[in-house]
Amino acid sequence: MFMEKMKDLKVTWNMTRYEVDEVEGIPLTKKMCDRWNETWAFQAKPDDLLIATYAKAGTTWTQEIVDMIQNDGDLEKCKRASTFERHPFIEWVLHEHTPTGVEQAEAMPSPRTLKTHLPVQLVPPSFWEKNCKIIYVARNAKDNLVSYYHFHRMNQIMPEPGTWEEFFEKYLTGKVLWGSWYDHVKGWWEAKDHYRILYLFYEDIKENPRREIQKVLQFLEKDLEKEVLDKIIHYTQFDIMKENPMANYTTLPPEILDHSISPFMRKGIVGDWKNHFTVAQNERFDADYKQKMAGTSLTFRMEL
C-alpha cells in the first residue's frame, strides 16, 4: 500500500507547496492537471460508490460512516487502513513515487468506494454512463471557508493561503483548488435530479446523525440492526474520530500535514465562522452570497 511503499522506497518527503494550473477554468494542482487525461478516462464500474464533496465539507466523516455501514459496524475492519487508502481519491496526484488516485482505484477489488472533490462537470463521464451511486455532502459556505483556510495552513503541500483576509477574497472569487464553492454546490444540486445522487448537508448530520445515516442506509439498500446503527453513530462522532489514527490523517508525515499548526480534526462544529469573520467581512460575504446563490432552491444553515 501507499505508505508502506513510501517506507520501502525510503523516499524523503522533500515536498514544496503545489503549483496551481487549471482544467476548464477550475484551479487544480499542476500535478493533477498533468495527469488529467488519465483522470478523465477513468473507468468507473456500475457498483462503484462515489463520495463527492467540496473540500472540507465533511468528506472524511462521510467516508467513515459509509465504511462502517459497508462493514456492518465492524470497527476493526474499518481500521484496516487510513481513510485515504481505503477510498481512492480519483483526481489526486500526491508524489511521483506514490500511485495516483486512478492507479489506486484500478488496483482495488470491487465493490469500490471512491472519493472526489471535482465539480460536477469535471467528473469522469464513465460515472454517469455506468449510473453509479454518488453521495454528495455540502457544508455551509462560511464554515467551509474557515475550515479550508486552516487546512491550507496545516497542509504543507497546498498552495500558500496568505493571510485570513487574502484567503477570504480568494474563496469568494473561486481562486482556490477545486474552484468556486458556489458553483460546486449548485452544480451538484442540479445534477441530483438526473442521476443517482444522495445530497446531504454537514449541518443535518451534525444535528441528527441517526436520521442522516438512515438516509445513507436506504440509499445503499442496507438494513442494519439498531445496535449496529448505534455503534456507527458512536464511532463516527467527532471526538472519537479525532482519536482514531486511521481516520484523523495522522498517518501522513508532518512534512505533508502538520497537525501542530492546526489539527485535521479541528473543531467539527457548525458556526465556527463567527469566531473568524469580522462584521465587515460578514456583510460583504452576505451581499456577495445573495448574488451568487440567487435563483437556486438550495439553502444552507449557517448555525444550528
**Interface with ligand A3P (CB under 6 A):** 53, 55-61, 143, 147, 150, 236-238, 241, 265-268, 272
Q: Which of 117, 85, 91, 114 is nearest to 34 (CA)?
A: 91
- State the nearest-atom distance from the C-beta of 128 to ligand A3P, in Å: 23
The one catalytic residue in 117, 150, 152, 184 is 117
Cβ proximity to ligand A3P: between 128 and 164 the closer is 164
- State the nearest-atom distance from the C-beta of 202 to ligand A3P, in Å: 7
Cross-strand bridge partners of residue 116: 52
Measured distance between the N- and C-terminal CA atoms of the chain, rounded to whole angstroms: 40
The DSSP call for residue 120 is: G
- State the nearest-atom distance from the C-beta of 37 to ligand A3P, in Å: 26
Cβ proximity to ligand A3P: between 63 and 100 the closer is 63
Cβ proximity to ligand A3P: between 266 and 292 the closer is 266
- State the nearest-atom distance from the C-beta of 162 to ligand A3P, in Å: 18
- State the nearest-atom distance from the C-beta of 150 to ligand A3P, in Å: 6
Cβ proximity to ligand A3P: between 143 and 183 the closer is 143
Note whether 229 and 209 are within 8 A (CB).
no
Note whether 64 and 236 are within 8 A (CB).
yes
- State the nearest-atom distance from the C-beta of 139 to ligand A3P, in Å: 8
- State the nearest-atom distance from the C-beta of 127 to ligand A3P, in Å: 19
Distant-in-sequence, close-in-space partners of 170: CB < 8 Å, separation ≥ 6: 161, 162, 176
Radius of gyration of the chain (CA): 18
The span from the CA of 145 to the CA of 172, in Å, is 9
Position 17, amino acid: R
Backbone angles phi, psi at 36, to 5 degrees: -60, -35
Long-range contacts of 143-147 (CB under 8 A, 24+ apart): 143/202, 143/269, 143/270, 143/271, 143/272, 143/273, 143/302, 144/54, 144/56, 144/57, 144/181, 145/171, 145/181, 145/273, 146/272, 146/273, 146/275, 146/276, 147/56, 147/266, 147/272
Q: Which of 206, 200, 252 is nearest to 233 (CA)?
A: 206
Q: 46-83 burial, b if ≥16 CB within 10 A, otherwise e?
A: eebbbbbbbbbbbbbbbbbbbbbbbbebeeeebbeebb
Cβ proximity to ligand A3P: between 68 and 197 the closer is 68
Cβ proximity to ligand A3P: between 42 and 273 the closer is 273
Cβ proximity to ligand A3P: between 59 and 113 the closer is 59
**150 is an active site residue:** no
Catalytic residue set = 117
